[in-house]
């Protein structure tokens, strides 16, 4: 397991180009032994979004290239082979929300708040938010946030789908680490299927999705790891699922 921590607390972890490009370097080669990643942030805020100081004197062509760079980097996070758990607190705004939406699991503290203020600044999202955020909360809710500047608190954002877990104050990192450890214990091929096949199945036609599911199911079930785990279960050496197994409280999704 690995932990990647944003460290620009005096800027509320606003994202400059150097920071974003460092993500690409890390997520392209996280290490052969890394089976889960926790994305955390130093200070009181996850990320207040794009560092607006980098927008000055940028031409239309340069702005296009900048957006495409963010797309490339954030796509590396979302479409990588290692599951990512984000620990959220404080501001998750603009580009910070676009970054959080790349993670596969999001854990939020009560201090977390979400916003897309681009509309009030004459801008439009450019880090993939128009694709990823509506998948979580729907296009109409995202439109509301962008048109009106609406801010969603932790509980409202959780209910809308921006986080899967809501913890006590100060608990996001510990919960994210706990979840990452559980994820890392899965069969690697199963995690691969969840990250690579599941999104494609969700976007496919029903017939195409069912075929891809059958193929992925057969590949996973035929692996040595899966067969060993099934034998352990049948021999009574594996934990059985119960009503309380894996539960972390009433706010977990």
CB 97 within 8 A of CB 188: no
Q: Is 109 a catalytic residue?
A: no
How far is it, in rounded angstroms, from Cα 89 to Cα 96? 11
Q: Output the CA torsion 28→31→33→39 (10° steps).
A: -70
Exactly one of 78, 109, 118, 156 is catalytic; name it. 118
Which sign, positive or negative, has the C-alpha torsion 20, 37, 43, 108? positive
Exactly one of 54, 62, 98, 213 is catalytic; name it. 98
How far is it, in rounded angstroms, from Cα 49 to Cα 99? 9
Give, as one character, the DSSP assignment of residue 16: -
β-pairing, 84-88 vs 2-6, is unpaired
How far is it, in rounded angstroms, from Cα 47 to Cα 35? 25
Q: Is 118 a catalytic residue?
A: yes
β-pairing, 152-153 vs 113-115, is antiparallel
Q: Output the CA torsion 108→35→217→175 (10° steps).
A: -20
Give, as one character, the DSSP assignment of residue 239: P
Q: Which residues are catalytic?
A: 98, 118
């Amino acid at each position: 397991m690995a932990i990647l921590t944003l460290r620009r607390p005096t800027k509320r972890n606003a994202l400059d180009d150097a920071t974003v490009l460092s993500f690409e370097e890390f997520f392209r080669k996280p290490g052969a032994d890394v089976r889960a990643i926790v994305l955390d942030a130093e200070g009181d805020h996850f990320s207040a979004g794009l560092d607006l100081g980098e927008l000055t004197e940028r031409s239309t062509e340069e702005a296009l290239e900048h957006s495409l760079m963010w797309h490339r980097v954030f796509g590396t996070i979302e479409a990588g082979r290692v599951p990512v758990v984000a620990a959220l607190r404080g501001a998750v705004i603009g580009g910070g929300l676009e970054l959080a939406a790349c993670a596969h699991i999001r854990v939020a503290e009560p201090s977390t708040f979400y916003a897309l203020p681009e509309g009030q600044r004459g801008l439009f999202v450019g880090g993939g938010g128009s694709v990823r955020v509506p998948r979580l909360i729907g296009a109409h809710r995202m439109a509301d946030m962008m048109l009106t500047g609406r801010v969603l608190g932790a509980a409202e954002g959780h209910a809308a789908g921006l986080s899967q877990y809501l913890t006590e104050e100060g608990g996001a990192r510990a919960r994210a680490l706990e979840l990452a450890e559980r994820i890392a214990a899965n069969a690697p091929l199963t995690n691969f299927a969840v990250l690579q096949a599941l999104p494609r199945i969700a976007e496919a036609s029903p017939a195409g999705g069912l075929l891809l599911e059958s193929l992925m199911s057969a590949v996973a079930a035929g692996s040595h790891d899966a067969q060993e785990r099934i034998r352990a279960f049948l021999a009574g050496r594996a934990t059985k699922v119960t009503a309380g197994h894996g539960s972390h409280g009433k706010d977990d999704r």
